[in-house]
Amino acid sequence: MNDLFGNEAPEAPEREPLAPGAVILRGWALPLETALLTALDGIVAEAPFRHMVTPGGFEMSVAMTNCGAAGWVTDRRGYRYDGKDPESGKPWPPMPAVFLTLAREAADEAGYPGFVPDACLINRYQPGARLSLHQDRNERDFDNPIVSVSLGLAATFQFGGLSRTDTVRKIPLRHGDVVVWGGPSRLFYHGVPALKDGEHLTVGRVRLNLTFRKAL
Ligand code: MD3
Ligand code: FE
């Protein structure tokens, strides 16, 4: 019941401005749920989720994999994009068409036309997993937005500003929500506190997050 007064455009997506340059498209990915989860199964069969190690030597609680020409990796040598999966030595699985289309259309809707991601980092949060406050700055060009898609269990997402010490806001990200971060918000600090336990009807006891980037 989000149209009690009948004055919304019939096909208007739920579109919440979040911060300068950032827009949340609530439920935007829901029509593609099955196609996304099927494509994800194919990727994970080729490039399984793994817990990477930070340069400081800590194993991440979030498990990750990638698809596309470039994948985000971390190890004792640092954070970077690499065309190959270090576990297999093979190129990352190609970006499925349904991923590319979703990312391009969401960016378009948010005011960033012509977004063509070459990297998709896939994060898997099991209960208790968290991602500490950070900036995404391993990409070559910050003029491109980042598109994020949440699936499965809901999480609290936190984001601040350009400085680590800026006040942090919290927003819930639920199954099917898509967020586009561009312009000034592209370099905002953000993170995910420990995932609460629960069971999602179709995805199970897990939260999955896809982040689409133009890395190269
Ligand atoms: C704001 N992932 O993979 S998605 C990441 O839910 C990451 O897994 C989180 O942060 C997750 O790097 C957050 C939302 C998000 C993604 C990228 C951003 C927010 C962002 C880049 C800049 C500012
Ligand atoms: Fe991030």
Per-residue model confidence (pLDDT) at position 15: 86
Strands (E), 45-189: 63-68, 71-75, 78-82, 119-125, 131-134, 146-152, 155-159, 169-173, 178-181
* 215 close to ligand 1 (CB < 6 Angstrom): no
* 189 close to ligand 1 (CB < 6 Angstrom): no
Question: Quick one: what percent of the chain has pLDDT higher than 90?
Answer: 92
Residues 6+ positions from 74 with CB-CB distance below 8 Å: 52, 53, 54, 55, 60, 80
Closest CA to 178 of 205, 146, 156: 146
pLDDT in tens, 128-148: 999 999 999 999 999 999 999
Structural domain spans, the chain = 2-6+14-213
pLDDT in tens, 23-61: 999 999 999 999 999 999 999 999 999 999 999 999 999
* 122 close to ligand 1 (CB < 6 Angstrom): no
As given in the structure block, the two tokens for residue 36 are 């996304």
The pTM assigned to this predicted structure is 0.94
Mean of the per-residue pLDDT values of the chain: 95
Bridge partner list, 120: 67, 212
Per-residue model confidence (pLDDT) at position 62: 99
Calpha distance 125→150 (Å, rounded):
11
Per-residue model confidence (pLDDT) at position 3: 57
CA 152 to centroid of ligand 1, rounded, Å: 16
**Atom nearest to 125 CA in ligand 1:** 8
CATH T-level fold of 2-6+14-213: Jelly Rolls (2.60.120)
pLDDT in tens, 50-90: 999 999 999 999 999 999 999 999 999 999 999 999 999 99
Per-residue model confidence (pLDDT) at position 4: 56
